[in-house]
Amino acid sequence: MAPRSPKISAASAEPPRVGDTLAALRQAQTLSLDALSRKAGVSKSMLSQIERAQANPTVAVVWRLANALGVPLGDLLASAPPPMEPVITVVPAHATPSLRHPDGACELRILGPIDLAGQFEWYALAIQPGGALESQPHEAGTREHLTLLTGALDLVSGDARQHLVPGETARYAADRPHAIRNPGKVEATAWLVVVHAG
C-alpha cells in the first residue's frame, strides 16, 4: 500500500520569506550587500531583489548565502527573521544586583554584565564611616582600579598603603590581600573595576 501524501496547509504552501531573514542576518553581522555578494558569490543585484522580496532564490543560492553567513540552511528558510540584539539595553536601578556586608557598612552594586564575570567587572562602591571592603588574593595578575568620587578612602595592597581623596584613581595588584577602608566621618563612594588576568 502506497504511503499517503502529507497534507499541505495554505500556510505551508507559501514559500518562505527569505528576504526579511536574509536582511536581518546580514545587518546583525554588519555586512554590506557588496561584502555578502563577494562572500557568497551571488550578485549584489540578486541579493537586493531577494531582500526586497522581488526574487525567490533557488536552494543553491540559499545554500551559498547560509554558508557565507555561517548559519544553518534552516535559519534562512525560517518564516520569521531571527531576533536582533537591541542597540541599547537599559538595566533599571531596582534591577541592579548588589552585595552588602552583613553589618551594612559596605555595599557593592554590580554594574557589569554577568557574562563578563571573571574577566572584567565593575562596581559602584559605597563604604560607611569606619567600614571596609577586605578581600583575599584574586588569581595571579589580577589588578583593580579604584576611582574615589566622594569622601576619603585608605587603600592597602599587600604591604603598600595609599590615602585617596576625591577625583583620584588608584591602580593596584589584587593578587595579594587587599582592602579598601573609609577612615572619614561621611560615606565614601567610588567606582571599582576589576581586571582579571588572561
pLDDT of residue 15: 55
In tens, the pLDDT along 112-160 reads 887 777 788 999 999 999 999 999 999 999 999 999 999 999 999 999 9
Q: Which CATH number fits domain 14-77: 1.10.260.40, 1.10.10.10, 1.10.357.10, 3.30.70.20?
A: 1.10.260.40
Phi, psi of 150 (to 5 degrees): -140, 155
pLDDT of residue 111: 92
Question: Higher model confidence: residue 19 or residue 83?
Answer: 19
In tens, the pLDDT along 55-89 reads 888 888 888 898 888 888 777 776 555 566 678 88
190 within 8 A of 147, measured Cβ to Cβ: yes
pLDDT of residue 71: 86
In tens, the pLDDT along 22-40 reads 888 888 888 888 888 899 8
Given a cut of 60, whether residue 8 has pLDDT beyond it is no
Provide the residue ranges of all domains of the chain, joining segments of one domain with +. 14-77, 93-195
Given a cut of 80, whether residue 16 has pLDDT beyond it is no
In tens, the pLDDT along 86-116 reads 788 888 888 888 888 888 899 999 998 877 7
Which CATH superfamily includes the segment(s) 93-195?
Jelly Rolls (2.60.120.10)
Q: How many C-beta atoms surround the C-beta of residue 64 within 10 A?
A: 16
pLDDT of residue 83: 62
Question: Higher model confidence: residue 190 or residue 118?
Answer: 190
**Strands, DSSP E only, in the chain?**
98-100, 106-110, 120-127, 132-135, 143-150, 153-157, 160-164, 169-173, 178-181, 188-195
In tens, the pLDDT along 160-189 reads 999 999 999 999 999 999 999 999 999 999
Question: Higher model confidence: residue 51 or residue 5?
Answer: 51
Nearest to 62 by CA among 13, 25, 10, 9: 25
Q: Do domains 14-77 and 93-195 have the same CATH topology?
A: no
In tens, the pLDDT along 39-59 reads 989 888 888 888 888 888 888
Judge if pTM exceeds 0.85: no
For residue 36, the surrounding DSSP H or E stretch is helix 33-40
